[in-house]
Amino acid sequence: MDWFEELSSILWAYRTTPRTANRETPYSLVYDSEAVLPTKIRQSSARVESYPNNNDQTRAIELDLVEEKKDWAAIRMEAYRNRVMKSYDKHVRAPYFQVRDLVMKKVKPVGDVGKLEARWEGPFKVIQRVSSVAAYYLENSQGHTLKRPWNAFHLKKYYV
């Protein structure tokens, strides 16, 4: 069986599976109703039989509530992002440098970089730490201050 023959069933499964982040299916966020498989419509089930016959009125009520449903999904998505960020940040620790420490800064690759090219440049002297973030203002060996602060993850200690 070729991949294009399976694509429709894979897309259906993806669209009708609840996402971890917002606990909603993409289908329900777009159409504001849960999808029912075609095979379940043909068979009599409690879900199909309990579905109201006044479809127009029910659909109008559901459409009135669609914005609220999307707002709740966005709130749950943001809470999920915060949980993931908190979990990640718990294990990540930025290197800490003192003022007057010598550091090397990572070279930003431009174009085609060979394997013998320098990956670090410096040394630079730390002249100030930016409060609340792990970033530092640096000064080169001629005494010129770099224009912007550098993130600590792009710096490493220079040992003489």
Decide if 44 contacts 74 (C-beta within 8 A).
no
- How would residue 40 be classed by pLDDT, with cut points 50, 70 and 90? low
| Whole-structure pTM value | 0.45
Domain 102-157: CATH class, spelled out: mainly beta
State pLDDT tens for residues 58-97. 767 777 777 887 888 889 889 989 998 888 878 877 788 8
Residue boundaries of the structural domains of the chain: 3-91, 102-157
* Cα angle value 130/150/113 (rounded, 5°): 175
State the alpha helices, DSSP H only, in the chain. Answer: 3-15, 26-31, 38-42, 46-49, 55-64, 66-91
- What token pair was written down for 128? 């100030």
What separation in angstroms does the CA of 157 have from each of 33, 90, 102, 122, 124?
56, 23, 6, 10, 10
Is the pLDDT higher at 50 or at 67?
67
CA distance 150 to 127: 11
What pLDDT, on a 0 to 100 scale, did the predictor assign at position 53?
A: 63
Residue 160's closest CA among 141, 147, 145, 134?
141
Whether 9 has a pLDDT exceeding 70, the answer reads yes
State pLDDT tens for residues 101-158. 899 988 877 777 677 888 888 899 999 888 777 889 999 889 888 888 888 888 988 8
What pLDDT, on a 0 to 100 scale, did the predictor assign at position 138?
A: 92
**What burial letters (b/e) apply to 91-117, b meaning 16+ CB within 10 Å?**
eeeeeebeeeebbbbeeeeeeeeeeee
